[in-house]
């Protein structure tokens, strides 16, 4: 799945060190449910199993986001995930991260989500995608709204931060 600026691709063995660095970044843990680091061995096993199984078996899919730089070199800038894939109800949760701040606000996340939406519609024939975003994460809320997601509810005191609990905005995109 590629365009002139980005390519969504499967996770490959060469991604091990990048995943190790990113998955073990405590700043990212607050977005998900992580509380402990991953070992290289665990990530290596994940990469190997991801290559052998499909979304119907694992109920999840991670795609790496490669961006084409001005010099023609492709650089991995992030990842986009489908998780909690539900083939019966034809829905999946979306997660996205652009790893380095220097790669943010360049349109990579918008392009990646649009490609993922096309894949979810044309290949997986999903009815909807959804995500949960901290109410304080204005950039993510704006990103998901830009590609068509709408707020559908609020989960009160859903995320624990260092200071308090925070609400999470539930967002949905009805595809078909």
Euclidean distance between CA atoms 5 and 111, whole angstroms: 8
Whether the full predicted model's pTM is greater than 0.85, yes or no, is yes
Residues contacting 11, CB < 8 A, separation 6+: 19, 46, 47, 50, 51, 62, 63, 64, 79
pLDDT-derived band at 61, boundaries 50, 70, 90: very high
pLDDT-derived band at 93, boundaries 50, 70, 90: very high
Which position has the token pair 């078996």? 57
Euclidean distance between CA atoms 3 and 54, whole angstroms: 23
42 pLDDT more than 70 = yes
Q: For residue 63, give both structure tokens.
A: 């795609």
Calculate Rg over the CA atoms of the chain. Answer: 16
Euclidean distance between CA atoms 23 and 84, whole angstroms: 19
Domains, the chain, in order of start with CATH, read 6-174 (3.40.630.30)
Judged by average pLDDT, the poorest of 34-48, 64-78, 143-157 is 34-48
pLDDT-derived band at 10, boundaries 50, 70, 90: very high
Give whichever of 8-22, 38-52, 68-82, 104-118 has the largest mean pLDDT.
Answer: 104-118
Cα angle vertex 66, ends 129, 25, to 5°?
75
89 pLDDT more than 70 = yes
pLDDT of residue 24: 82
**Pick from 140, 141, 128: nearest CA to 172:** 128
pLDDT-derived band at 2, boundaries 50, 70, 90: low
**Pick from 142, 8, 141, 135: nearest CA to 81:** 8
**DSSP, res 38:** P
pLDDT-derived band at 156, boundaries 50, 70, 90: very high
pLDDT-derived band at 49, boundaries 50, 70, 90: confident
Q: For residue 147, give both structure tokens.
A: 């590609």
Edge-to-edge strand list for the sheet holding 6-10: 6-10, 61-68, 74-86, 91-98, 128-134, 165-174, 150-160
């Amino acid at each position: 799945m590629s365009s002139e600026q980005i390519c969504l691709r499967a996770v490959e063995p060469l991604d091990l060190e990048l995943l190790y660095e990113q998955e073990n970044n405590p700043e990212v843990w607050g977005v998900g449910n992580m509380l402990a680091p991953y070992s290289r061995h665990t990530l290596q096993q994940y990469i190997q199993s991801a290559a052998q199984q499909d979304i119907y078996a694992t109920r999840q899919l991670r795609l790496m986001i490669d961006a084409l730089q001005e010099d023609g070199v492709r650089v991995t800038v992030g990842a986009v995930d489908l998780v909690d894939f539900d083939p019966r109800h034809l829905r999946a949760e979306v997660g996205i991260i652009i790893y380095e701040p220097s790669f943010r606000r360049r349109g990579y996340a918008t392009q990646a989500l649009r490609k993922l939406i096309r894949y979810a519609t044309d290949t997986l024939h999903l009815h909807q995608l959804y995500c949960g975003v901290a109410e304080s994460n204005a950039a993510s809320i704006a990103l998901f709204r830009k590609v068509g997601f709408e707020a559908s509810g609020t989960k009160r005191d859903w995320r624990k931060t260092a200071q308090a609990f925070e609400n999470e905005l539930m967002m949905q995109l009805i595809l078909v």
